[in-house]
Structure 1
Amino acid sequence: MIGRARESTIDGRPAGGRVLADVDLASALAVCAVDPVASVLATSRIEAAAREGLRRSGGQLWGYEADGELVAVCWAGVNLVPVVPTRDPAALDAFAALGRSHGRRSSSIVGTDWAVLGLWGLLSPIWPPAREVRADQPSYVIDHDPLIEPDPLVRLSVPDEYPLILPACVRMFVEEVGYSPVSGFDGPYEVRVRSLIDSRRSYVRIDEGEGARSGSPVVVFKAELGAIAGGVAQVQGVWVDPSYRGRGLSESGMAAVVAAARRDVAPVVSLYANHYNDRALAAYRAVGFRQVGTYATVLF
């Protein structure tokens, strides 16, 4: 069992936050269970830590206590993910104090808009400037069968298709974020794509060549289950090849992903997108998604 760390402070005063230990994981999961959709990113990491131990988790878990009870948590790894169901500003003070103490190690802050934007407001005077702040990202869920017919050609990808799927993932990432994530055969992005395929969380529709302009197989549609936890499967990386857009493939493709995920993975499927992406949001609503909240993301 990992011992308790020193509490965070603000101007030398206790801020009520600390780095949590393995013994705290059950309580942390109970905090996340208050809103499984909003907390799915953090819950997925905490569930993995509960299986493997925090030492092997690739990050830290911060906690905030009120009256001796854990009421808010924040996953601090590749992403910084605050979960504050009580909307207590004191929790953000505590996490900001820990963030100042440990420095910026995450590539983003992501989660419920209130918590993300509040935390960034406290950290921005100390941390390096953000590359972009996406303050309005509607959070959608569906907990029933899709309203439109699923695309029968959308299926789980297989490991042998990795060389075909990776370039599609990179193209999606560049469109969404603005730079290439590629860093080498065993780079973190490449490993992530490979692991999603291997764990049966990558869905694709591939034009095998007959209709493809190049005469070679083309990834027409793709999406991944980027986080699975607490009875929720969060879809990420939805993308249609530009030459195939305007044919309704995003709607039928997402319907196929929803049907498969609800059948095989979790009863609730969620996602979030930028508020200005009207085309994507309309497609999700056509499938049957409804908005239940708002995310925000700070990118570094």
Structure 2
Amino acid sequence: MLTQTTSRVLEPSDLDAALAVLDREPVANAFVASRVQIAGLDPWRLGGEMWGFYEHGMLTSLCYAGANLVPICAGPRAVRAFADRARRAGRRCSSIVGPTESTALLWRLLEPHWGPAREVRSHQPLMVTDRLPADIAPDPYVRRVRKDEMETIMPACVAMFTEEVGISPLAGDGGLLYQARVAELVGSGRSFARFDEHGKVVFKAEIGAATDRACQIQGVWVAPEHRGKGLAAPGMAAVLRYALADVAPVVSLYVNDYNTAARRTYQRVGFQEIGAFTSVLF
């Protein structure tokens, strides 16, 4: 038995213990939990390492270190241990993202070594709901995107990502990883859209992470020429209907605090704030 605090890279044999930590906060941890449930803890399949923090021989906290650096159920001592490991390894991620308290501390410890960031989004409300809205009918034209519609949905996904993140997902590798991710969501039936009479995307959203306890909606986007027409709330209600019926009993999302229009839409559909995320973008 370990008698003091320590951290190490987890191995496939640590899977049950890691899942137990992730299950402590199923909504906040949905993104990482969904990956671990599918890929386990093998770094090649997971797309990154999983770091574990131990106190008195018990695994109490995690940190996913892949394309994103994500602290999980991490108190100050765990965050300091993860920051030390991240500093020694050097920055390999494109962002740090997670619950505000742990993520903000992690960034304060890493900023002298990794900074400056391209952007810090310090307060992104985490919102959840477990029911359909009583007063907003789901848009009947929002449906699952078919596999043969990849060429149609892809430009909308690129436009959403570029608008949201500030850089194109096609940079670097020419968009191969991003296209594979979009194809994965379409293939798994977790990409939704409304198309106009010409086959162009009017509204879209994806269920980007899913476990048996919670799922997370992402990539919500309305084509610029259709904004202000009241499409977002019925569209979200439609995606929410699919999510609750087919995926998980609780649906979450997080949103930039300055995006007041989006926050009002989500509140209209029944989402309530339960916490906040912070994102550090490089």
| TM-score, L = length of structure 2 | 0.94
The alignment partner of 1:17 has SS state of strand
* Structure 1 residue 229, shift from structure 2 partner: 2.1
> 259-268 vs 15-24, which deviates more?
15-24
Q: Which amino acid aligns with 1:281?
A: R
Which residue is 2:19 aligned to? Answer: 29
- Aligned partner letter, 2:29: S
Q: Which residue of 2 aligns with 1:20?
A: 10
In the alignment, what sits opposite 1:132?
A: 119
Q: Is the 8 A contact 1:22 1:54 kept in 2?
A: no
Question: Shift of residue 128 of structure 1?
Answer: 3.8
TM-aligned CA deviation for residue 230 of structure 1: 4.7
Aligned to 2:47: 58
Whether the aligned pair in 2 keeps the contact of 1:15 and 1:97 (CA below 8 Å) is no
Q: Percent identity?
A: 49
- Which sections of structure 1, spanning at least 5 residues, go unmatched? 1-13, 210-216
For 2:82, what is the secondary structure of its paired residue?
helix
Find the residue that maps to 1:267 and give its secondary structure. Answer: coil
SS state at 2:121 partner: strand
Instruction: Report the CA distance between 1:246 and its aligned residue.
Output: 1.0
Does the 8 Å contact 1:42/1:74 carry over to 2?
no
1:89-128 superposed matches below 5 A:
89-128=76-115
CA distance in 1, matches of 2:39, 2:84: 23
Q: Distance in 1 between matches of 2:209 and 2:24?
A: 17
1:203-258: CA deviation from partner (whole Å, max 9, x where unpaired): 0000022xxxxxxx210000011111251110000000011111111100000000
**Counterpart contact for 2:5–2:56, Cα < 8 Å:** no
2:266 aligned with 1:264, yes or no? no
**Paired amino acid for 1:143:** D
Name the counterpart of 2:35.
45
Give, in angstroms, the shift of residue 78 of structure 1: 0.8
What code does the residue aligned with 1:83 have?
A: I
Partner SS, residue 36 of structure 1: coil
1:153 positional shift: 0.4
3-state SS of paired residue (2:162): helix
Q: Match of 1:278?
A: 260
Alignment of 1:93-242 (within 5 A): 93-147=80-134, 148-183=136-171, 187-209=176-198, 217-242=199-224
- In 2: Cα distance, 1:247 partner to 1:108 partner: 33
Structure 2 residue runs of 5 or longer lacking an equivalent are none
What TM-score do you get using the length of structure 1 for normalisation? 0.89
In the aligned structure 2, how far is the partner of 1:243 from the partner of 1:188? 29
Amino acid in the other structure paired with 1:94: A
Deviation at 1:118, TM superposition (A): 0.8
In the TM superposition, residue 186 of structure 1 has moved relative to its aligned partner by: 6.1
Runs (4 or more) in structure 1 with deviation over 4 Å come to 183-186
Q: Closer, same or farther in 2 for the Cα pair 1:124/1:230, shift >3 Å?
A: farther
Aligned length: 277
Q: What is the identity, as a one-letter code, of the residue corresponding to 2:194?
A: R
Cα distance change of structure 1 residues 164 and 185 upon mapping to structure 2, 3 Å threshold: farther
In structure 2, C-alpha distance between the alignment counterparts of 1:266 and 1:196, rounded to whole Å: 16
Determine helix, strand or coil for the equivalent of 2:220: strand
